[in-house]
Amino acid sequence: MITLFIEWNESGLKKTSYEWLNWLKENSQNTFSIIAYGPEPGAEKATKELNTLGSTQSHIFIQNGNYAFSNSQLIESIFKKITEWNSKFLLASQSLLSNDIVSSVSSLNNGCFYADVLECTSDSGVPKQILKPLYSGKAFSSFDISHNNFTGLTLRPNSFSQSSLDSWTGLTTPAEKTQLTENDLTFEEQIKKETSRPQLNEASIVISGGRGLQEAQNFSLIEELADTLKAATGASRAITDAGWVPHSIQVGQTGKTVSPKLYVACGISGAIQHLAGMNGSKVIVAINNDAEAPIFEKSTYGVVADLFNFIPAFKAELQNTL
């Protein structure tokens, strides 16, 4: 049995979860289970979506909004559930939470765990061989996982195509639910930054800025271009360390790894640490006034120009076209 671990937020199931669903469909695997987890707000919508995905069985773990939560309770609960289901694979879209959950459950099962998976082949609908980067993306290696007793895999977002909900038939039995609480811990305050932009590591388009912006206030150029393209914003380590933008949007070896369809690097020289976080992008556009910048060696398209002149003109052209 294959089990998918799917996260949700207030908007419903995370769309990157559909990548594994599409893989199952393409490999004619119709027998799988789902474990979903998320906060109480959004649980109702997530449940409705979950019940359309065609799994054999599913279970929802809901974080009670009145309590703080430790991953240990969720890990133990998932371990018990997949043991009951006799699952041999636990698959998830990569995130800080899923890496913790899947690696821990794999350890409890005396199994193997592979993060940052880019490709996966199958044998009769069962994962057989995977491809993942090594040494910060400097090399790639394939691993035969067919001999493992238990295997956990987390997929780098945007590595596979995503299915729509219309591609799946409904469950005959509604998902089971468990309310999780931690009675000795309570929330004092939860602070969320309101934004209409997609999450960085799940976005199909990312606009990133670097030291070429010269000063913090000029990051607004990146934000305006991102809003025009409905993209996420990213940044190099140089400007996050300088305090221009929060570390949460840093792309690179010590930041987040992204694999969007389009990555636009503005005023970023292309240090190897930054390249490690974005070299999985399908199309890379570099904008830099230094024609010798290393970023151009990795870019699909390069623009040698003053970004303060180019970005406003580019944004205006996009607004006229889109």
Q: Which residues contact residue 97 at a Cβ distance below 8 angstroms, ignoring those fewer than 6 apart?
A: 7, 37, 71
Place of tokens 């394939």: 142
Domain 2-180: CATH superfamily is HUPs (3.40.50.620)
321 DSSP 8-state letter: H
275 torsion bin: left (phi>0), alpha (psi -120 to 50), beta (else): alpha
Q: Do residues 57 and 90 lie in contact, with contact meaning Cβ atoms separated by under 8 Å?
A: no
- Say which CATH topology domain 200-321 has: Rossmann fold (3.40.50)
Q: What share of the chain is helix, strand, coil (3-state, %, to 5)?
A: 35, 30, 40
Question: Are 238 and 273 a contacting pair, CB within 8 Å?
Answer: no
pLDDT value for 14: 82
Q: Where are the domains of the chain?
A: 2-180, 200-321
Per the CB < 8 A criterion, the answer to whether 233 and 207 are in contact is yes
CA distances from 29 to 6, 23, 56, 125, 250 (A): 18, 8, 11, 5, 37
For residue 250, give the amino acid letter: Q
Q: How many CA atoms lie within 13 A of 141 on its CB side?
A: 9
pLDDT of residue 171: 44
pLDDT at position 31, please?
84
Same fold, 2-180 and 200-321: yes
**Matching residue, tokens 């640490």:** 273
Backbone angles phi, psi at 49, to 5 degrees: -65, -40
**Torsion over CA: 47, 48, 50, 56 (sign):** positive
pLDDT score of 182: 55
What pLDDT, on the 0 to 100 scale, is given for residue 8?
Answer: 85
Q: Is the dihedral of CA 151, 173, 53, 175 positive or negative?
A: negative
Positions of the chain with pLDDT under 50? 165, 167-172, 184-185, 187
Q: What is the β-pairing status of strands 139-144 and 126-134?
A: antiparallel
Task: Confirm if 216 and 191 have CB atoms less than 8 A apart.
Answer: no
Cα-to-chain-centroid distance, residue 207:
16
In Å, how far are 88, 312, 315, 319 from 322, measured between CA atoms? Answer: 46, 15, 10, 6
Read off the pLDDT of residues 275-314 as tens digits, 9 standing for 90 and up.
988 988 999 999 999 999 999 999 999 999 999 999 999 9
